[in-house]
Amino acid sequence: MKIGYQGIEGCNSLASARNMAGRLGWTDVEYVPLINSKGVVDALRAGTVDYGVMATMNHVAGVVLETEAALRGLNYRMLALDCIPIHHCLFVKDSSVKKITLVASHIQALKQCRGTLAREYPEAVWQEDEDTAMAARHLAEGVLPADAGVLCRKEAGEALGLYLLQENLEDDAENATEFELIQLSEKGMDKLVVVAGLGLEGGSMAKALKQYTGCTVYGWNRTASVAQQALSDGAIDGIADDEILSRCDLLIPVLYPQATIAFLQRVIPRMKRGAQVVDLVGVKTAVVEAVTPVALAHGIRYTGGHPMAGLAKGGYHRSFADLFKGASMILVPTPATAEGDVAELSALFRQAGFQRIKICDPQTHDRMIAHTSQLAHVVSNCYVKSPVSSQYVGFTGGSYKDMTRIACLNERVWQELFLLNKDALIPEIDLLIRHMTELREAIKAGDASQVEEMLRQGRESKEHIDALNPDQPSE
């Protein structure tokens, strides 16, 4: 058999390919270097390789965008997932090189060493290459300038006779990258999926799965006319009934929190053993605690989920397949999550358009969402109640719209989200009130220095947040 991998001899992708082939018990394997992710996909489609290996996610630099682009819309099965530590070494042509003016490597490697490069080689410019080992080859063959350095795996640099200048330049000692072993499939991931609840997010999820994966997608909705409209639009392959629910491979309920719990407690006992459930409710602890015992009792693999995407107003008529493009999906493993489920679901949701998959426990999810989402809705809801709000036209340059956009919420679902997550939300509200009260008192007292100091603290907090997340600033 032939496995095509992203890179050339000596690269991390080859090391991971060998790891996964070994775990699967494959011995008669020819490893084919294919430079980049597109090359792997092209070879799979041409039939010149049987399987492909590509980097999909780095724990520091995030999603490998070239792989995401290559896989988008591709019907495939993920056979194995491998996560390997990544240690970047800096090589130069020979020991005579005294000053490095350029550092070449794959963009992911450059990002993973961002801090070290800025500190130790501040004058060196970055140059992207298709692969870390390819950058090393280009230096060895004279394609790069003589005073260039390259970031690559130690084995690659040594095999090409380069001079090792420095080891372990990665900013994070826990730096690691995930690789997937895939095979083309006419049916993609071979799943019969039911999306229950076809509003904005549910309708968009159904459309994304239908358009970008090989799944067969059925829809269920409390209002039957919505499901019928989705079928007429081609957003789903059929309308789910009890028989479809009983034999589906993956059920994705996108309902109100309490309705999700009630729906799953009713449906899970009828599902086939080994089927998967991923709820997309915006609170996790309460839902996970209610659903997990039922899932375990009936052999259902259950994982919590929360797509970080949406619009100010909902409804199926606003749904579209690219709602999740570039967004984050939070996955919350539970005691009913089986081995390999998170990797399998991550691959599926990446196909649907998600750029980042965040894994956490229910309590971490609820604590963070209380701050990043729910508190913002509390503030917007309270802010817009001022009697002067209706007179805003001509008096705003954008900040008013930014602050009030999410006041157009669905009060029924948000009251459930607030109350189910009150233990995490109330401390966030209390802290906000404390900070606002301190600023109010300083303004009331006419204390210019104190007001300026508080504003400075806020500005520096925002700058610090963005410095910690340079690839995803919070603005």
The CATH number of residue 437's host domain is 1.10.3660.10
Q: Is residue 474 part of a domain?
A: no
Amino acid, res. 40 = V
Does 141 lie in the same domain as 195? no
In a domain, 226, yes or no: yes
* Token reading at 351: 């196909």
Q: Are residues 61 and 117 in the same domain?
A: no
Residue 462 resides in a domain: no
On whether the CB atoms of residues 255 and 284 are closer than 8 A, the answer is no
192: phi > 0 → left, psi -120 to 50 → alpha, else beta; which?
Answer: beta
Asked whether residue 267 is domain-assigned, the answer is yes
Domain boundary among 345, 360, 375: 360
| CA distance readout (Å), 4 to 12, 69, 78 | 13, 17, 14
Residue 356 lies in a domain: yes
- Distance, CA of 351 to CA of 163 (rounded, Å): 41
Find the range with the poorest average confidence among 276-290, 317-331, 367-381, 387-401: 387-401
CB 284 within 8 A of CB 230: no
CA quadruple 269, 270, 273, 279: dihedral, nearest 10: -70
What is the structure's pLDDT at 76? 78
Q: What is the number of other CB atoms lying within 10 angstroms of the CB of residue 384?
A: 17
Taking Cα atoms as reference points, which of 57, 62, 48 lies closest to residue 78?
A: 57
Range of the domain at 218: 189-360
Would you give the DSSP letter of residue 160?
A: T
State the pLDDT confidence band at 474, using cuts at 50, 70 and 90.
Answer: low
Report the candidate in 59, 65, 69, 157 with the shortest Cα–Cα distance to residue 105: 157
pLDDT, residue 178, reads 87
If asked whether residues 224 and 275 sit together in one domain, one would say yes
Q: Which of 311, 338, 360 is the last residue of a domain?
A: 360
215 shares a domain with 104: no
Mean pLDDT of the chain: 91
Which of 190-194, 417-421, 443-447, 455-459 has the lowest average pLDDT? 190-194
Residues 323 and 216 in one domain: yes
Residue with the bigger pLDDT between 72 and 127: it is 127
For residues 239 and 123, membership in a common domain is answered with no
Number of domains in the chain: 4
CATH no. for residue 97?
A: 3.40.190.10
Mean predicted confidence (pLDDT) in 18-35:
90
202 & 334 share domain: yes
For residue 214, what pLDDT band results from cuts at 50, 70 and 90?
Answer: confident
Q: Is residue 472 one of the residues assigned to a domain? A: no
Same domain, 225 and 345: yes
Tokens representing residue 37 in the block: 């992710």
Position 37 pLDDT exceeds 70: yes
The pLDDT score that the predictor gives to residue 79 is 75
Percent of the chain with pLDDT over 70: 98
Query: Is pLDDT of 102 > 70?
Result: yes
pLDDT exceeds cutoff 70 at 59: yes
Q: Are residues 288 and 409 in the same domain?
A: no
User: What are the start-end ranges of the H helices in 142-282?
Assistant: 154-159, 200-212, 224-233, 242-247, 257-267
pLDDT value of position 186: 64
